[in-house]
Structure 1
């Protein structure tokens, strides 16, 4: 299966073309941009396709990160993935950023359960735990740091992610979480057929909220004399 994976969930904007039968990355482009995913994503996808010498019509599945992460960035990636899938008549699958970081760690350091914690700021974190085989042992959740620490006291495994220093008592996290876009492709290739369409995993509401108290008075239209 030829998989195109997309990540716009954080500071990176990335795309990868992956052959699951050969377990081979055919093309991969990652740029650390911070913001502006919508403007750059299509060019990055084109770059990955060119590296792979593969046309978009040869892609058999789309895999996209669905969060948790940047509210706007996730929307960009999910919309692109669903648009490609619809136009090409293929499946699109969602991959969480937490399971991606866990899979990346377990690929290089197998044998122990892993807890993934992302620094969500505001004294909060995104947390999920995984068994040594990569299967989730808890749901992804937005927790206060104190609640997360209480859970992890009983956790017998490795703790990774930008929130790991916070769990150990540091005042700041380790910075933006990064992972290989090829890991997203590998996970996406293993998802079963017939999964629901990818949808953003928002564990926290958007920072921007509509204004209240400034509604304009609605007036009746003017009548012709």
Structure 2
């Protein structure tokens, strides 16, 4: 199965194409902003390197978050539009599931608490058993509650949220790898339309002074 993986949920704008477990091409730019402008050029570069066309893609896997609200929308919208145009399957993979997969490999035989700094005193978090089973579904958790959460499941605390909470040190495994999205995308059963996983409302709020009264 030829799978296209997309990730715009964080500072990275990333694309990878794989044939099963074999990565044919990848392109990653750490840009912070401007994912909508860079995603298609990176996709074109990956298609050229892999020597295939969009019509050869069997499935698209996209990072649905949690992460940047704007970035997630860019990736999910692009994945859904491409899948519709190609007529291929589209599946979502969460940032936390990717980090869980990577951290389980780094801590064999242990449950892991994976976290992403969500600001406002919270971390997006989830707990995975040593066999990959979800012990605690993704949620927004206060920093001060992370230690108790790790103790509850006897889990290794990892990720940027755990770093801020003083539960672990920085690690390269805290970074979402586009190859892991492609690999996990092969295991997801296609279902309903792919949707973002925000876990909480956006930080931005409408400016009340510029709203019009209802008629």
Q: TM-score, normalised by structure 2?
A: 0.91
Number of residues of Structure 1 aligned to a counterpart in Structure 2: 215
RMSD of aligned residue pairs (Cα, Å): 2.4
- Indicate conservation of the 8 Å contact 2:127/2:155, yes or no: no
Structure 1 regions of 5+ residues with no counterpart? 220-225
Q: Which segments of 5 or more consecutive residues in structure 2 lack a partner in the other structure?
A: none
Asked if 2 retains the 8 angstrom alpha-carbon contact of 1:163 and 1:173, the reply is no
Change (3 A) 1:124 1:215: closer
Greater helix fraction, Structure 1 or Structure 2: 2
Give, in angstroms, the shift of residue 149 of structure 1. Answer: 2.5
Q: Which whole-Å deviations, capped at 9, do the CAs of 1:161-207 have from their partners, x for residues lacking one?
A: 1112233269x9889x5221010000001112x42221111112112
Aligned to 2:44: 46
Q: Is the 8 A contact 1:163 1:174 kept in 2?
A: no
Structure-2 separation of matches of 1:153 and 1:28 = 38
Q: Which moved more, 1:209-218 or 1:39-48?
A: 209-218
Q: Distance in 1 between matches of 2:127 and 2:212?
A: 49
- Alpha carbons 2:76, 2:195 under 8 Å: kept: yes
> Could you say if the C-alpha distance between residues 218 and 153 of structure 1 is closer, same or farther in structure 2, counting changes exceeding 3 Å?
closer
Q: Which structure has the larger Rg?
A: 1
What is the TM-score normalised by the length of structure 1?
A: 0.88
Report which of the two has the higher share of strand: 2
8 Å CA contact 1:62–1:92 kept in 2: the answer is yes
Cα distance in 1 for partners of 2:57, 2:167 equals 45
Q: Report the alpha carbon displacement of residue 102 of structure 1 after superposing the two structures with TM.
A: 1.1
Equivalent pair of 1:71/1:206 in contact (CA under 8 Å): yes
Runs of 4+ that moved beyond 3 A: 172-175, 213-219
The one of 86, 91, 102 equivalent to 2:89 is: 91
